[in-house]
Chains A and B, each alone.
Chain A
Amino acid sequence: MDFRTLFEPKTMAIIGVSLHNDRHPANVIYNKNRFRYPVKVYAVNPKGGEYYKEKVYKNIKEIPEKIDLAIIAVRAEYVPGVLEECVESWVGGVVVISGGFSETGRHDLREELIRIASEADFPIIGPNCLGIYSPSHIDSFFLPSERMVRPERGNVAIVSQSGGILVDQMVKYADQGIGLSRAISIGNKAVITELDLLKYLVRDDQTDVIAFYIEGFGKGEGREFVNMASRSPKPVIVMKAGKSEAGSRAVSSHTASIAGDYTVFSSVMKQYGIVEASDEYEMLNFSEALSCYPKAIRGRVGIVTASGGHGVVAVDRCNKSELEVPPLPEDRQEIIREKLSNSIKTIASIGNPIDLTGSAHDDDFVVAARQLSLIDDIDCVLILLLPYLPEVTSDVGARLSQLYQETKKPIVAYVPHVEKYMMIIEGFQLNNVPVADSIEGAIMMVEAMKRCGQC
């Protein structure tokens, strides 16, 4: 299925626009797309008439243009009828925002929707979902523009069964400076499932990393998903919710007892190199790291810091994640000490971690990181930057980022995420180096590369 027309439509119909309620989901969607996105938007309501002087069409068939994407926000029982009309009018595809299907016991309506889709080979996202956010193209979320936090355009696509989790995750991605290519809420996924979107996103030229929030797969779908994901040339990240095993279920064999649903899920993801995030924070850090470096590493980390404590905490966390912190060759240690500024030459502790001390200059960070990058036994450099030190300047992020261009060895940085350090953070991020807001987050970024089977 080609979703391009759904994600980048030229024409869009919003079905169910109220003539007088601006807060109606259909109205919110109509207004935000009309004012903010490069798409021609048509309002549909069986009553017809006008909405703020714009014509409201009684029926999708009345619209004089072919519609690429229709957003349906009418009561569930009217949805099948509206869908039939969309099919007859050669609409490219639809998003059904409306709830009131199988989640409220109306399995018949769900079946009807599936029947229409399969007979006409017609793409339907939803029902009971927010639909598509495709930066600089469209936004079908019924959340007023002024209330939403929108990540910038980027290369990470998120597919989520839950709309709420998706919006929440978008707030966090925006805060962390991670850009999105697509965000898709699939709700009850009656027709279009994770599998269809994975198949499309693997080919989508706007997307380099594909992240999923999954509550559960349909029968046998998990097997198809991993088979497809393991052949993806792009990293695939999954976060699973609903992990607790149904303890009351009578189990007759040891194997069935041990291999509960989530245990199997997690094991199979690992087997196929699909990066499982255990929570939203991991999802965030994994996404950022893999969006910068779709690159597999063995996980041998060289650490630069200006505080002994940061170094110790980082090494502990590396051990926990089974990342190696290899010792530095003697000759390399000599070279590093030789190149450091005079003020720290004798007090810096040169090992792994390299502790440059609180008197470190930008140059010292660059020297240490470059030398670590040149060591074959190290495949990732972790920079624990203390932006409050007197000799560290706002240039340090941009300068350190250039090292990746020079050596092609991934660099991951930790900088506290507060407003006054933004120039350093952006110095890294705008030059494609990921920056975590904690030491732990930075190590998650390294882990993501280690665990990525598609990198």
Chain B
Amino acid sequence: MLTDEMKAILEKSRGTGWVLEPDAKKILSLAGLDVPEYIHATSVGEAEAFASKTGYPLVAKVVSPDILHKSDVGGVAVGISSDEQLREVFDGFSKMKGFAGAVIEEMLSGVELIVGAKNDSQFGPVIILGIGGIGVEIYKDTTIRMAPIKKEHVPSMVADIKARKLLEGFRGSEPVNMECLSSMVVGFSNLVMDLAPFVESIDLNPVMCSGSRCVIADARMILNNAQE
């Protein structure tokens, strides 16, 4: 079930056609999915206050209704390690089109996965899982299932990923926590069933998966424009 808060976010995003990252993360966290500790800072002061509380390193991402693909325009800065660097990044963002602040959040580590959804015209909501990051469309190492997905379906999805060894602990790296990954995929699939009338597609990319967590580092929610 969508909460009133979720519906309000969807309503306010209708004009843009997609949900801004901080709003999308809000919906996801309301659904019980793991998102990083973050703030949507509209001034350098707010950003610095967050940094002094959590410490560095941090990630900063521009928030703008005009920028759907942030990394394409230099709107993502990772590994920020000082107030000075933070100010510099924020200053750069503020010159971008439609600037409406920045998401400042903890820096995460782990394997980058994509968990996505599409509302298919023939089959309704489907879920994809695979290797994430900016190379998603180059590697196309993903698998698709019709939603809703149950916990017992997740291992077969992982088995479909060609680079699954990266998830199993490759050359000394820590294996991905399958329990967390499974809860993420199932929880997301349930949310997608409820969101289906409103969305065209969703990218959770990357989802950072480590031995202890699976956290949604970035989210893009494209609304269905037929829904008036």
A interface list, Cβ under 8 A from B: 216-223, 226, 252-259, 261, 263-265, 267-268, 271-272
Contacts and interface: CB of A to CB of B under 8 A. Distances in A.
A255 B146 contact: no
A216 B130 CA distance: 27
Interface string B182-206: 0000000000000000001111010
B166 interface: no
A84 to B, nearest CB: 33
B222 A253 contact: yes
A256 B146 contact: no
B118 A254 contact: no
A253 B142 CA distance: 14
B124 interface: yes
B196 to A, nearest CB: 11
A253 B122 contact: no
A261 B222 contact: no
B122 A259 contact: no
Nearest to A214: B122
B118 A264 contact: yes
B158 interface: no
A422 to B, nearest CB: 43
B28 to A, nearest CB: 15
Contact of B201 (A220, A223, A226, A256): A256
B137 interface: yes
A217 B122 CA distance: 6
B144 A264 contact: yes
Contacts, number: 92
A221 B122 contact: yes
Interface in B112-136: 114, 116-118, 120-124, 126, 128, 130, 136
A2 to B, nearest CB: 27
Contact of A256 (B124, B205, B222): B222
A253 B144 contact: no
A452 B7 CA distance: 42
Contacts of A221: 122
Interface in B76-130: 114, 116-118, 120-124, 126, 128, 130
Given A223-B122, A253-B220, A271-B146, 6 more contacts: A223-B146, A252-B222, A256-B118, A258-B140, A261-B120, A267-B126
B20 to A, nearest CB: 14
B215 to A, nearest CB: 18
A297 B220 CA distance: 42
B136 A252 contact: no
Nearest to B122: A222
Contacts of A256: 118, 200-201, 222
Contacts of A268: 123, 126, 144-146
A221 B124 CA distance: 9
B50 interface: no
Identify which of B18, B114, B123 gathers the most chain A CB atoms within 10 Å of its CB.
B123
A254 B114 contact: yes
Contact of A226 (B137, B142, B146, B202): B146
B122 A265 contact: yes
A259 B118 contact: yes
B123 A254 contact: no
Interface in B202-219: 202-203, 205
A58 to B, nearest CB: 44
Contacts of B200: 252-253, 256
Contact of B118 (A222, A255, A265): A255
Interface string B134-174: 00110010111110000000000000000000000000000
Contacts of A261: 120-122
27 contacts: A216-B122, A219-B121, A221-B122, A222-B123, A223-B123, A223-B124, A226-B146, A252-B220, A253-B118, A253-B201, A253-B203, A253-B222, A254-B116, A255-B114, A255-B202, A255-B203, A256-B118, A256-B201, A256-B222, A258-B116, A258-B130, A258-B136, A261-B120, A264-B120, A267-B143, A268-B123, A268-B145
B125 to A, nearest CB: 9
B179 to A, nearest CB: 22
Contacts of B31: none
B144 A259 contact: yes
Contacts of A222: 120, 122-124
